[in-house]
Amino acid sequence: LVLLIACANVAGLMLARAEARRSEFAVRTALGAGRGRLLRQLLTESILLSSVSAALGLALTWLLIRFQGVFNPMPAFPLRLDMRVGGQTLIFTAVAVLATTILFGLAPALGLSKPDLVSSLKGTGRTVGQSKRRLPLRNVLVVGQIALSVVLLAATGLLLRSLLFSMRIPLGFDDQKQLVLAQISTYEGRPSEALFLEIAEKLRALPGVKQATFAMRGPLTGFEDGATRKVSIPGVEMAQGQEAIPVKFNSVWFDYFRTMGTRILKGRDFSSVDGPSGPKVVLINETMAQRYWPNDDPVGKHLRVDGKDCEIIGITERAIMGKIHESPEPYMYFPFSQAPSGDGMLIVETVSDPGGLIPAIRKTIHGVDSNVPIIEMLTVPQLMHSAFWEDRITAGLVGMLGIAGIFLAAVGLYGVVSYLAYRRSHEMGVRMALGAQKRHIVALVLGHGFKLAVAGIAIGMIGAFAVTRLMSSMLYGVKPNDPVTFAATACAVIAIALLASYVPAARAARVEPVVALRYE
């Protein structure tokens, strides 16, 4: 879309330049140059222009690749995006050069290759009548630019609103806590629970550490598919051919919920009595309670997990364990002693800035066992950055393209309104000589820009309504045809259009009638 807007912009500039060269091409035609030769000359000039632009674009791309670090999703995870200028990029650029040459060079070339010899050679090729015949094409280009920029801005607005709604999603834990989350893995021959307990005990002894606990997995791990257990619930009918319900789960140590700030809505938390030899117990989230016990209190009831009887001792608030936009689903928590895991997430709550304790935490973990691999270590702000990375990068990239599009459209509108004001300078002089005030002249020129903007907005809204429907899977909390976003887009485009039109309007209002009428 931005490429189309740029092509329309350059085509408008080429049309204006064509007006100045009309006499030149009339002379060439009179001296025997055929229309095909003139077309080849003009398209050659367009190819040179687009080729130089492509070379500059590739150079700029190479420079921008050096800043690709801002696009990496997780600052603490060794993942890098592969951005290189390779053969496919060069082929695409070459195709784009040819396409843009045709897009912005063909219309001016067709117009200039068949000039009106009599009027051009007499020096009357810039009459008002001819400007009226040729101005509509530039108007169409500007309207098209504005329409395309409306589509980009509407998409940007929807993505930004979606991001804002996403940031208000209840996470199921306190994201204001000073936490460090360290993902580690045990190895064969080392009991995981004993290792985690020893590490947690050493971490609690560190200065500045308030609490340390662990779980099989932490929140916002980025994976929507988690480990499941087969659950049978008395009184709940299964689908035909289904023997049990697969429910995702987590194994957590005591104080996990308190450390994370996850509320227990009913019942109790795990305690030291819930050991490997004690009765099997489980905590369920509110989604599971509402789905399978909508009119009853599940606390104290029993269910079978992998064929073993478990008592529900409490209900927790829903916590987002995978991706930020995951659908609410049933979830279970088991005591780590009753469901140990070889992989785990250490959660360390600190008194002050957690980032400063990361080296000490890393040293403590390796001090207990130097063979334990630390997969990643994140603070809560880094975790939130990673969780919202896709939303931020999408909204940011589309937003930059939207700004580029509306800037180019504003430049195109400025050029058309300036050209109009220049061609109508004689008319402006007559009007002012007959008593028109400067504000009337400003209103006249602004009105032309306003009409083009309204036409572009009307067409752009139709296009935006069709295009944004394809974005429904990328949006959260906002509909593709959101009236607030569309209204804000229209207001923004009108404001920018009036601003782009004001400068030539003010210049036209400063025309002296004597100067404008001097040659009459």
Q: What is the pLDDT of residues 376-386, one digit of tens each?
A: 899 999 888 88
Number of Cβ within a 10 Å radius of residue 108: 25
Q: In angstroms, rounded to a whole number, what is the distance separating the alpha carbons of residues 105 and 43?
A: 6
Residue 122's pLDDT band (cuts 50, 70, 90): low
pLDDT at 499 over 60: yes
- Residue 24 vs residue 356, higher pLDDT: 356
Q: In angstroms, rounded to a whole number, what is the distance separating the alpha carbons of residues 136 and 219?
A: 58
Q: What is the pLDDT of residues 314-371, one digit of tens each?
A: 999 999 988 888 889 999 999 999 998 888 899 999 998 898 999 999 999 999 988 8
Q: In angstroms, rounded to a whole number, what is the distance separating the alpha carbons of residues 474 and 483?
A: 18
Residue 119's pLDDT band (cuts 50, 70, 90): low
| Predicted local confidence at residue 127, as pLDDT | 43
* Average pLDDT, integer, range 46-56: 86
User: Are the CB atoms for 283 and 272 separated by under 8 Å?
Assistant: no
pLDDT at 112 over 80: no
pLDDT at 126 over 60: no
| Predicted local confidence at residue 132, as pLDDT | 44
pTM attached to this predicted model: 0.78
| Predicted local confidence at residue 81, as pLDDT | 61
User: Are the CB atoms for 100 and 94 separated by under 8 Å?
Assistant: no
pLDDT at 481 over 70: yes
User: Are the CB atoms for 182 and 365 separated by under 8 Å?
Assistant: yes
| Predicted local confidence at residue 249, as pLDDT | 94
Please provide the DSSP assignment of 147-174 as one string. HHHHHHHHHHHHHHHHHHHHTTS--SS-
* Average pLDDT, integer, range 394-422: 87
Spatial neighbors of 193 by CB under 8 A, at least 6 apart, are 336, 337, 340
The proportion of the chain whose per-residue pLDDT surpasses 70, expressed as a percent, equals 89
* Average pLDDT, integer, range 484-510: 90
| Predicted local confidence at residue 13, as pLDDT | 79
Sign of CA dihedral 102, 107, 110, 112: negative
Q: What is the pLDDT of residues 282-322, one digit of tens each?
A: 999 999 999 999 989 999 999 999 989 999 999 999 999 88
| Predicted local confidence at residue 10, as pLDDT | 82
| Predicted local confidence at residue 482, as pLDDT | 92
The proportion of the chain whose per-residue pLDDT surpasses 90, expressed as a percent, equals 39
What is the residue whose two structure tokens read 């809560």? 380
Lowest-pLDDT choice from 109-113, 228-232, 362-366: 109-113
| Predicted local confidence at residue 130, as pLDDT | 43
- Residue 63 vs residue 68, higher pLDDT: 63
pLDDT at 25 over 90: no
Lowest-pLDDT choice from 154-168, 190-204, 216-230, 343-357: 216-230
Measured in residues, the chain has a length of 520
pLDDT at 143 over 60: yes
Indicate the average pLDDT of the chain: 85
C-alpha closest to that of 250 among 220, 212, 290: 220
